[in-house]
Amino acid sequence: MSAGKLYVVPTPVGNLEDITYRAIRILKEVDLILAEDTRTSGVLLKHFGIETKAISHHKFNEHAQVERISEEIAAGKTIALISDAGTPGISDPGYLIVHTCVSKGIAVETLPGATAFVPALVNSGLPIHEFIFLGFLPQKKGRETKFKSMAQENKTMVVYEAPQRLVKTLTQIQTFLGDRQVTVSREISKKFEETIRGTCTEVLAHYMQKEPKGECVIVIAAAE
């Protein structure tokens, strides 16, 4: 293990078998793990016998910690950053510490690995030679403006959504974008993984009858 480096380590979005051998090795070898939620990550670390010390690093404390952590890495510490699931920085904390390290000339190494939108996008059956990832949509301010801009987008679009807001978001997609093709993938890589494909009307009707559970990825066809 080389000294003085930040490792960005993806963790499984569902099935624990999706982690890589390399990720396990690095999590065992680093001096410290920054975890979005140490309770959630504790399950993963215990499962793979990883005894490295982990501390909380999330959107509520990252601004207060980033300078100290980057200084520790610059002084020779090896630190791994993980989120609750998937790749840190992709709709999860991670950007700030990576940006800070890069701006200071500190080594950053990001491992390839799990992220929810890639399997959902590929599984959608929609064109993926070009796509745009939008993450979570604004909940209030700017939401309508975002939908209006999406209506003109000529690439396949990918959106994350919480289950309790899925019906509302599908309804607004139908209102602002029209009845175009969409897919909703839930519980990716978990026991009850599901992908529903169809027009927005068809997918909305499905979830009006069946309450969605688990984090959702919506893939939306481009404007014609």
Q: Which CATH number goes with the domain that contains 133?
A: 3.30.950.10
Mean pLDDT of 2-14: 91
Is residue 1 very low, low, confident or very high in pLDDT (cuts 50, 70, 90)?
low
pTM here is: 0.91
Q: What is the pLDDT of residues 149-204, one digit of tens each?
A: 999 999 999 999 999 999 999 999 999 999 999 999 999 999 999 999 999 999 99
Backbone angles phi, psi at 68, to 5 degrees: -65, -45
Strand pairing report for 107-110 and 5-8: parallel
Domain co-membership, 16 together with 59: yes
110, 141, 167 - which closes a domain: 110
Is residue 3 very low, low, confident or very high in pLDDT (cuts 50, 70, 90)?
confident
Domain co-membership, 60 together with 140: no
79, 110, 141 - which closes a domain: 110
Residue 112 CA to residue 92 CA, distance in Å, equals: 16
Range of the domain at 75: 5-110
Is residue 99 very low, low, confident or very high in pLDDT (cuts 50, 70, 90)?
very high
Domain co-membership, 17 together with 97: yes
Radius of gyration of the chain (CA): 19
Instruction: For residue 186, give every residue at least 6 positions away whose Cβ sits within 8 Å of its Cβ, in sequence order, or none.
Output: 163, 192, 193, 194, 195, 212, 213, 214, 215, 216, 217
Question: What is the structure's pLDDT at 218?
Answer: 98
Sheet containing 78-82: which strands, arranged edge to edge?
A: 54-56, 32-35, 78-82, 5-8, 107-110
Instruction: For residue 205, give every residue at least 6 positions away whose Cβ sits within 8 Å of its Cβ, in sequence order, or none.
Output: none
Q: What is the pLDDT of residues 126-164, one digit of tens each?
A: 999 999 999 999 998 999 999 999 999 999 999 999 999
Residue 201 CA to residue 204 CA, distance in Å, equals: 5
Mean pLDDT of 37-44: 95
Question: What is the structure's pLDDT at 46?
Answer: 97
Mean pLDDT of 106-130: 96
Domain count, the chain: 2
54, 84, 110 - which closes a domain: 110
Could you give the C-alpha distances from 212 to 164, 186, 208, in angstroms and in order? 7, 8, 9
Both tokens of 17, joined, read 């078998």
Question: What is the structure's pLDDT at 224?
Answer: 85
